[in-house]
Structure 1
Amino acid sequence: MTDSLVDQLRAALRDAMVERDRDLVAALRSCLAVIDNATSKGIAAPRAGAIEVSVAGLSAAEVPRRQLTGEDIEALVDAELADRVAAADELEAAGRGDQAQVMRETTERLRAATQPG
């Protein structure tokens, strides 16, 4: 599971959108967002200052994104799957068994989308 994992997730997202599978679309988008957010270096707090020292031009304030290794991506996906399992357990404990079941089924389908080939 490496960058091809991200490609797999994106392909699964396209398929789920075509099939109008709202639960799986939401799960895949969430997983891809976790990966995308992990590449962010964050931003410095805005501060006031003289206009002549501010950046100018298209994309002048852009910073390069962090590069994730395959292991980083795998760890992020594993953590997302674990969070979803924990959320299903919490739903079950709160007496929302029907929602917990949907969460578990969607999590298993998300897990299947991360498997090779």
Structure 2
Amino acid sequence: MPRSNLKTALKARDRIAITALRSALAAIENAEAVPVDPPSPGAPKHEVTQNEHFAGSAAGLGAADVERRLLTEADLLSIVEKEVRERSDAAREYERLGRDDLAERLRAEAEVLSRHLKP
């Protein structure tokens, strides 16, 4: 969805599209992340390195790998809709504050993302 369009925007050097698509992809990646629960008391502790380059990180091959959540098409659309809504709301606020330049940029970003909502 947005990933293939990001490549096109990068080739065209379309800064507004690049910004909007990168932001939407980051929101999608955040939604795919599995929430981290604090360790329960008595749970086994993972080995932690003391190496100056990796201090405090989990040690061992794949020790920090966690499977990502799989999002449905409806989840993806919901995330993009939220991104559009946030930009539209912020544009109205910028306009109210007399910052028409920023409002116009956010409206343009919202338009780029809106194209992904249409079937």
TM-score, reference length from structure 2: 0.76
Is 1:39–1:66's contact at 8 Å kept on the other side of the alignment? yes
Q: Provide the secondary structure at the position in 2 that maps to 1:57.
A: coil
Show the 5 A alignment for 1:46-61.
Answer: 53-55=45-47, 56-61=59-64
- Contact kept, 8 Å, 1:12 with 1:113, in 2: the verdict is no
Q: Residue 67 of structure 1 is aligned with which of 65, 70, 77?
A: 70
How many corresponding residue pairs? 106
Q: Which residue of 1 aligns with 2:34?
A: 41
Q: Where does residue 50 of structure 2 map in the other structure? A: none
Structure 2: gaps spanning 5 or more residues: 48-58
- How far apart are the structure 2 equivalents of 1:57 and 1:41? 20
Q: Which residue of 2 aligns with 1:99?
A: 102
1:101 shift after superposition: 1.3
Runs (4+) off by over 4 Å: none
Q: For the aligned residues, what is the CA RMSD? A: 2.3
Q: Which TM-score applies when normalising by structure 1?
A: 0.78
Percent identity, please. Answer: 40
Partner of 2:86: 83
| Structure 1: gaps spanning 5 or more residues | 1-7, 47-51
Whether 1:32 and 2:25 are equivalent positions in the alignment is yes
- After TM superposition, the structure 1 stretch with the greater mean CA deviation from structure 2, 25-34 or 106-115, is 106-115
The structure richer in helix per residue is 1
Cα deviation, 1:42-93, whole Å, max 9, x if unaligned, reads 33458xxxxx942542112322111111111111111111001011111101
Distance 2:104 2:26 in 1: 23
**Do the aligned residues in 1 keep the contact of 2:2 with 2:25 (CA within 8 Å)?**
yes
**Cα distance in 2 for residues equivalent to 1:93 and 1:28:** 26
How many angstroms does 1:115 deviate by?
Answer: 3.1
